[in-house]
Amino acid sequence: MRTARANIRTQVVVVVMGALLMGLKFLAWRITHSNAVLSDALESIVNVVAGAFALYSLLLAAKPRDREHPYGHGKVEFISAGIEGGMIGIAGIFIIIRALLALMHGHQVHELGSGIALTGGAGAVNLVMGLLLRRRGRRSHSITMEAGGTHLLSDAWSTLAMLVGLSLILITGEQRLDALFAIGFGVFILVQGVRVLRRSVAGIMDETDMVVAAEMVSILEHERRPDWVDLHNFRVIKFGSTLHIDCHATLPWYYTLEQAHERIATMEHLVNARYDRRVELFIHMDPCLPASCAICALDDCPERRQTFQRRITWELATVLDNAKHGSDDVPPSGS
């Protein structure tokens, strides 16, 4: 909860600063009449609107779970990131169209020195805020803040490129460079928007983050007990900063319900102790079968039916399928 409040305070600062920078950039456009400067100013509108919605999503995601939302409200962060990605993409398309029209019909820019100073200052502030927001988003596992940071950084880099373009116009007097650089900014912004939107859709569709899944499986394998016979049907779902993992774990069939629950609780405790974010495990307990004896390392099993051959190492390749492992999964000797 403390992390959520800190994220909200940070986002408030970002929204307020974004509004101030937007006014500064539009002032620079009024002075220069540059399409490149206008492109930068128009993206600032997206920054402010997306930042305000991101603030709302962080407030909503911080709410505790309730009857209507038993998994919490974290999914709204993916929606927020998707809206921001879509708005970034639309801004990129608008910038490209406006620049193409200016390139076809001709356009004059002036007072470039003042415009360079104003937009340069705004770009520097965006760079600092973007780095801060993205770092905080990664540390707190907030895709909303990470997407906002990526957006501000793309804005900062495009501002830098725009300053280079305006400086070249100032040096060479070639007015068409303004529209050409604006097209380049538009393409860059459009690509960034598509990337943010792609991550958002992946989260909404519960696409497995293979890196996170591999980390979880690695923790369980490293802390594995002899009576944790098998792990399969392993799935990871993200709800904001919280991870929900469901899987099937094979335990000795003769365990009491209390013994089996204690083993599952140990798994959950180990994962949460070793990982840097909240993890909920929903584990379906499967009883072992005679075919499981070949992969079971429990030395003092009173019900063993086969000789132990080799333990199946838990890794992504072995735990994702919805099927128990057994003697058929142990390769013949010498293979």
Q: Which letter does DSSP use for residue 306 in this model?
A: S
pLDDT score of 7: 79
Distances (CA, A) of 162 to 35, 125, 209: 10, 15, 36
Handedness of CA 99, 103, 106, 109 (dihedral sign): positive
The C-alpha atoms of residue 114 and residue 108 are separated, in whole angstroms, by 16
Distance CA 186, CA 223 (A): 50
In total, the chain counts a number of residues equal to: 335
Give strand pairing partners of 231: 249
Which amino acid, one-letter code, is at 7? N
Sorted by where each begins, the domain ranges of the chain are 2-204, 210-329
Token duo for residue 55: 């603030």
Give start and end residues of each alpha helix (H) in 141-256.
143-172, 176-204, 210-222
Mean pLDDT, contiguous 10-residue spans, the chain (335 residues): 75 85 83 73 77 82 78 78 80 78 67 71 84 83 78 75 74 75 80 84 79 89 92 86 86 94 91 81 90 90 90 90 78 51
From CA 234, how far away is CA 216, in angstroms rounded? 10
CA-to-CA separations, 171 to 34, 144, 284, in angstroms, rounded: 15, 41, 69
Closest CA to 78 of 245, 196, 193, 208: 196
DSSP state for residue 329 in the 8-state scheme = G
User: pLDDT at position 331, please?
Assistant: 63
What pLDDT, on a 0 to 100 scale, did the predictor assign at position 335? 41
Q: Give the pLDDT of residue 228.
A: 94
The CATH code belonging to domain 2-204 is 1.20.1510.10
Q: Which fold has domain 210-329?
A: Alpha-Beta Plaits (3.30.70)
| Separation between Cα atoms, residue 255 and residue 288, nearest integer Å | 10
Sheet containing strand 242-251, strands side by side: 230-239, 242-251, 279-287
pLDDT for the residue 334: 43
Q: State the residue for tokens 């501000």.
A: 152
Q: Backbone dihedral region of 177: left (phi > 0), alpha (psi from -120 to 50 degrees) or beta? A: alpha
Contact, 40 vs 162, CB < 8 A? Answer: yes
Pairing status of strand 230-239 against strand 242-251:
antiparallel
